[in-house]
C-alpha cells in the first residue's frame, strides 16, 4: 500500500490522475503505481496476461504468485492491481481510528493508498468485487503495517467489499509452481513457430489423441513420441500439452509435484468446445 517513487509531490499525483492512472477496466485499466516508477526495481515484475488482456504490474514475489492464482481461477474475471482508494476517505478513517495516515517518505504529502488487487469475481452469474492485500509473515506482525491494514479494512467495509489478506506462508506453492510451469506453454507475441499456427494445429491433434487414448505412460514420454510422429522440434510436444492444460482441455492435479512425469492416467482430456463458426448448422 502506498508504494511509489522516493519523492512524491501533489503535482505528480495530479499528473498521474490526468494520465488516467487508477482508472479504466479490463484491458484499459492503468495501475496507479507501475514498475517504471522505481529507480531500483527489486522484485517488481511485469506479467503479460492473455486472460486479462494486458500487462500486469506486481511489486513483490507474493503479489506475482497471487496474480498467477487469480489468473487461474475461473471465478476471477478481471483484476485492477495497485488500485488507488480515495485519499480524503483514508485521511478521515485514520483520524477516526486515531492512527497516523501514511505519508510519502521525506515529504508532508499524504500517501495515495493502494490495495494490491481489486478483483472482479463472478459467482452464479453475479459479478462483485473483492479487495486483496498481499503481505509477508513479517509484515503481519509489524504494528505500522497493521495500522495501514486497519484503514483499508474499514474503508472496504464501508463499501461492502470483502477485504482479504494473502500471506506468503499460506500460499499453495505447489499449485502456483505448476501454474507458472503451465503458463510456459503460452505463445508470446511475435514468437516464431515452425510455421504460423503450428502449435495450435498440433494442440488439436494431441487433444483428439488423448481424448481417445488408452496409453499409460509418463506425460513427458508421450510428448516426446508425439514430437517424433509429427516432426516437431524437441520440447514442443510438452509445450502443446501445457497449452492444453492452460486452456482446461487437459485437466490435471495441480498438487502433483511433477506434472511432466505424471502418468497419462492421472490426466483427463475433455472435448474442445466447438466455436460458432465450426459448429453444426
Domain with 14 in it: what CATH number? 3.40.1350.10
Contacts of 98 (CB under 8 A, 6+ apart): none
Are 198 and 160 found together in one domain? no
Cell digits of residue 112 = 495515495
Contact between residue 209 and residue 225 where contact means Cβ atoms under 8 Å apart:
no
Domain assignment present for 276: no
Last residue of a domain, one of 171, 198, 221: 171
Domain assignment present for 277: no
Question: pLDDT at position 252, please?
Answer: 97
Are 25 and 90 found together in one domain? yes
Are 61 and 123 found together in one domain? yes
**CA atoms of 125 and 212, how far apart (whole Å):** 33
Beta bridge partners of 55: 48
Are 167 and 179 found together in one domain? no
The total number of residues shown for the chain amounts to 281
User: Can you state the angle between helices 61-72 and 173-183, rounded to 10 degrees?
Assistant: 70
What is the phi/psi pair of residue 214, to 5°? -115, 15
Domain assignment present for 3: no
Cell digits of residue 269 = 482430456
Are 237 and 105 found together in one domain? no
Are 162 and 32 found together in one domain? yes
Q: Quick count: other Cβ atoms within 10 Å of Cβ 117?
A: 24
Domain assignment present for 166: yes
Are 14 and 48 found together in one domain? yes
> pTM value?
0.89
Are 231 and 122 found together in one domain? no
Domain assignment present for 5: no
Question: pLDDT at position 280, please?
Answer: 40
Are 133 and 193 found together in one domain? no
Question: pLDDT at position 278, please?
Answer: 42
**CA atoms of 117 and 95, how far apart (whole Å):** 25
Beta bridge partners of 218: 263
- Which segments within the chain are labelled E, that is strand? 45-49, 54-58, 76-84, 114-123, 126-135, 163-167, 250-251, 268-269
Last residue of a domain, one of 154, 171, 188: 171
Question: pLDDT at position 2, please?
Answer: 47
C-alpha distance from residue 255 to each of 250, 258, 266 (Å):
15, 9, 12
Q: Is the dihedral of CA 205, 211, 216, 217 positive or negative?
A: positive
Domain with 262 in it: what CATH number? 1.10.10
Contact between residue 109 and residue 92 where contact means Cβ atoms under 8 Å apart:
no
Contacts of 200 (CB under 8 A, 6+ apart): none
Last residue of a domain, one of 171, 188, 206: 171
Residue written as grid cell 479490463: 26
Vertex 116: Cα angle to 8 and 183 (nearest 5): 125
| Tens digit of each residue's pLDDT, the chain (281 residues) | 545 555 899 999 999 999 999 999 999 999 999 988 875 555 889 999 999 999 999 999 999 999 999 999 999 999 999 999 999 999 999 999 999 999 999 999 999 999 999 999 999 989 999 999 999 988 888 999 999 999 999 999 999 999 999 999 999 999 999 999 999 999 887 777 777 888 889 999 999 999 987 778 999 999 999 999 999 989 999 999 999 999 999 999 999 999 999 999 999 999 987 654 444 43
Q: Which domain holds residue 124?
A: 10-171
Domain assignment present for 208: yes
Vertex 165: Cα angle to 132 and 75 (nearest 5): 50
Residue written as grid cell 492491481: 81
Domain assignment present for 227: yes
Are 113 and 133 found together in one domain? yes
Give 16: exposed, middle or buried? Use CB within 10 Å, 0-12, 13-18, 19+: buried
C-alpha distance from residue 117 to each of 73, 191, 204 (Å):
14, 30, 35
Are 26 and 95 found together in one domain? yes
Vertex 252: Cα angle to 80 and 172 (nearest 5): 50
| Number of domains, the chain | 2
* Radius of gyration of the chain measured on its C-alpha atoms: 22
Domain assignment present for 2: no
Are 46 and 109 found together in one domain? yes
Amino acid at each position: 500500500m502506498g508504494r511509489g517513487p522516493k519523492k512524491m509531490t501533489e503535482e505528480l499525483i495530479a499528473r498521474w490522475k490526468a494520465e488516467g492512472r487508477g482508472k479504466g477496466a479490463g484491458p484499459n485499466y492503468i495501475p496507479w503505481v507501475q514498475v517504471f516508477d522505481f529507480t531500483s526495481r527489486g522484485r517488481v515484475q511485469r506479467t503479460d496476461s492473455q486472460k486479462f488482456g494486458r500487462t500486469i504490474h506486481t511489486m513483490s514475489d507474493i503479489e506475482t504468485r497471487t496474480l498467477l492464482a487469480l489468473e487461474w481461477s475461473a471465478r476471477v474475471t478481471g483484476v485492477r492491481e495497485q488500485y488507488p482508494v480515495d485519499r480524503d476517505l483514508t485521511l478521515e478513517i485514520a483520524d477516526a481510528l486515531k492512527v497516523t495516515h501514511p505519508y510519502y517518505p521525506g515529504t508532508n504529502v499524504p500517501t495515495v493508498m493502494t490495495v494490491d488487487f481489486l478483483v472482479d469475481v463472478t459467482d452464479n452469474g453475479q459479478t462483485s468485487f473483492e479487495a486483496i492485500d498481499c503481505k509477508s509473515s513479517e509484515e503481519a506482525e509489524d504494528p505500522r503495517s497493521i495500522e495501514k491494514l486497519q484503514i483499508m479494512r474499514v474503508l472496504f467495509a464501508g463499501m461492502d467489499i470483502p477485504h482479504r489478506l494473502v500471506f506468503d506462508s499460506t500460499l499453495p506453492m505447489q499449485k502456483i509452481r505448476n501454474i507458472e510451469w503451465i503458463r510456459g506453454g503460452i505463445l508470446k507475441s511475435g514468437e516464431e513457430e515452425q510455421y504460423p499456427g503450428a502449435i495450435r494445429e498440433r494442440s488439436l491433434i494431441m487433444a483428439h489423441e488423448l481424448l481417445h487414448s488408452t496409453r499409460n505412460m509418463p506425460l513427458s514420454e508421450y510428448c516426446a513420441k508425439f514430437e517424433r510422429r509429427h516432426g516437431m522440434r524437441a520440447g514442443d510436444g510438452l509445450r502443446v500439452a501445457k497449452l492444453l492444460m492452460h486452456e482446461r482441455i487437459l485437466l490435471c492435479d495441480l498438487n502433483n509435484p511433477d506434472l511432466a512425469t505424471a502418468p497419462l492416467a492421472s490426466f483427463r482430456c475433455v472435448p474442445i468446445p466447438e466455436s460458432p463458426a465450426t459448429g453444426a448448422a
